[in-house]
Amino acid sequence: MTRDIEIYDTLLRDGSQGEGVSFSLDDKLQITRRLDELGVDYVEGGFPYSNAKDAEYFRKVRELPLTHAKVCAFGMTRRRDCAAADDPGLKALVESGAPVITIVGKAWQAQAASVLRVSAEENLAMIGESVKFLVGSGREVMFDAEHLFDGYKSNAEYARAAIKAAAENGASTIVLCDTNGGTMPDEVAVIVADAVALLSPLGAKVGIHCHNDCELAVANSLAAVDAGAAQVQGTINGFGERCGNANLISLIANLALKKRGYRVLGGRDLQHLTELSRYVYETANMQLANNQPFVGRSAFAHKAGLHAHAVARDTTSYEHLDPTLVGNERRILVSELSGRSNIIAITAKHNLQSDLALMDRIQTAVNEREAQGYQYEAAEASFDLLALKLAGLFKSHFQLSRYHVEITTTNSDGQNHTQPAEATVKVVVLDGEQKIERYEVAVGDGPVNALDAALRKALEWKFTRLREMRLADYKVRVVNGEAGTAARIRVFIEATDGKDRWTTVGVSENVIDASWKALVDAIEYKLCKDEKK
């Protein structure tokens, strides 16, 4: 039999508690829409009693034409010595209008005593009365049993009493939380199985909510599902406090594609999984984790020549599944460690792979340039341009005559004040048989920004689609640190035009010159790419 496993995303609440993670109101609404399109069952929107933005979210989310996901409001059990009907937090949950309400309560007796300062009996009453009040408002109610696993190991009977109190008062799902992220998979399996046996006769399902402090959140969640859990909670990309939450990207992929006997997302395909992962990274203004399983840029990347050669003949030799199943792609990397197989695989898109002499020239050039400090495995766009140049297929769109960058610092009142950088660029634009000289000046927040602005001014009149391009990332690395301030510098520039992303590299003892080389490659790649469309 195939068992449906509910997917509950808490990115907008628990995930936003991660360091450096913040979402605007519009961000939260757009992510909700994306999660709904993927087929996520529950989207936890936030804590309406805690801040105005979350309260406004629950007003605005009603306007979204969601087709599948149910929106959940999150809160806590009633306060001590306060009736549930009078508790402002519970009333805010009801007033949010959310069809599902999730409340958290203590399942560890020691925590109830030390943190909430309530007796064991009062804590159980807080749980039961809060759930009963919310169920009475006509909502589906879920109970997050905080510290359940630590509480179970400390006092199993009390932990069982806590989750039983929620189920007996109408909670549809009891979510067992590994709040500290310190439980092992074998422990999770035993405790979840016990909870399922306890709660099933009461008509309540069991969910699992794991944190990743031992890097076991995904493994623990899968163990819980095997033990009978019907719902998995987590966040897209594993965002969350401390070391994060269970990564729903990995959980969804494992349950749908690797495990047997489970169905998620209503059986939808996962071809938008990579797109969703990267959308969330972009929205959070965070760098993509290249080594993230299933959806990372390196998840199906092959660098060793032996691996590339084998994958060309049989992809299963070094790939556990077809990357297109999750919307990702296979990448063959090139470096001084690569063999001819890597070069052949990468140049196939230009139909150059049959010219073995050219393959050898490209490999030799890569080895020579990497000895100078270049690195092409992370700069595929620069490699593409190098291959086209060696094949005699590259046509330059402009030529540099000279550039100049000026940074002015003044001193007043004992303080240094740096003025915006100013760059002048003189280039020759190649327009058919014509050579048109352009001289432009621009200012920027720094020398690279100023150079970028000046070069764009010199080119955009002719190549209007350059306006689509922006620099997404800029990285500087020292190649030979032993040379101190005279060291050779490697600069990576990542660019995007909203549809594609590409990375280029430049190397020089001068950081401005290295940046210029990477910038020129980024623009030339964009122009070449557009010409092929």
Domain spans in the chain, listed from the N-terminal domain onward: 3-268, 301-390, 398-531
Q: What are phi and psi of 334, to 5 degrees?
A: -125, 135
Share of the chain above pLDDT 90, in %: 65
pLDDT in tens, 40-77: 999 999 999 888 888 999 999 999 999 999 999 999 99
Q: How far apart are CA 102 and CA 74, in angstroms?
A: 5
Query: What is the distance in angstroms between the CA of the first residue and the CA of the last residue of the chain?
Result: 48
Region of poorest pLDDT, from 102-116, 175-189, 240-254, 371-385: 371-385
The class that CATH gives domain 398-531 is alpha beta
H runs (alpha helix) in 254-326: 273-283, 305-313
How would you classify residue 392: left for phi > 0, otherwise alpha for psi between -120 and 50, otherwise beta? left
Q: How far apart are CA 130 and CA 133, in angstroms?
A: 5
The two three-digit tokens of residue 166, written as one number: 């929620």
Q: How far apart are CA 36 and CA 387, in angstroms?
A: 43
pLDDT in tens, 396-411: 999 999 999 998 877 7
Residue 469 contacts residue 495 (beta carbons within 8 Å): yes
Q: How far apart are CA 478 and CA 501, in angstroms?
A: 24
Mean pLDDT, residues 214-235: 98
Pairing outcome for strands 489-496 and 470-478: antiparallel
pLDDT in tens, 95-127: 999 999 999 999 999 989 999 999 999 999 999
Pairing outcome for strands 409-412 and 398-406: unpaired
CATH of 3-268, one of 3.30.70.20, 3.20.20.70, 3.40.190.10, 2.40.220.10: 3.20.20.70
pLDDT in tens, 297-308: 888 877 665 555
pLDDT in tens, 139-155: 999 999 999 999 999 99
- Burial grade of 235 (CB within 10 A; 0-12, 13-18, 19 or more): buried
Residue 486 predicted with pLDDT over 60: no
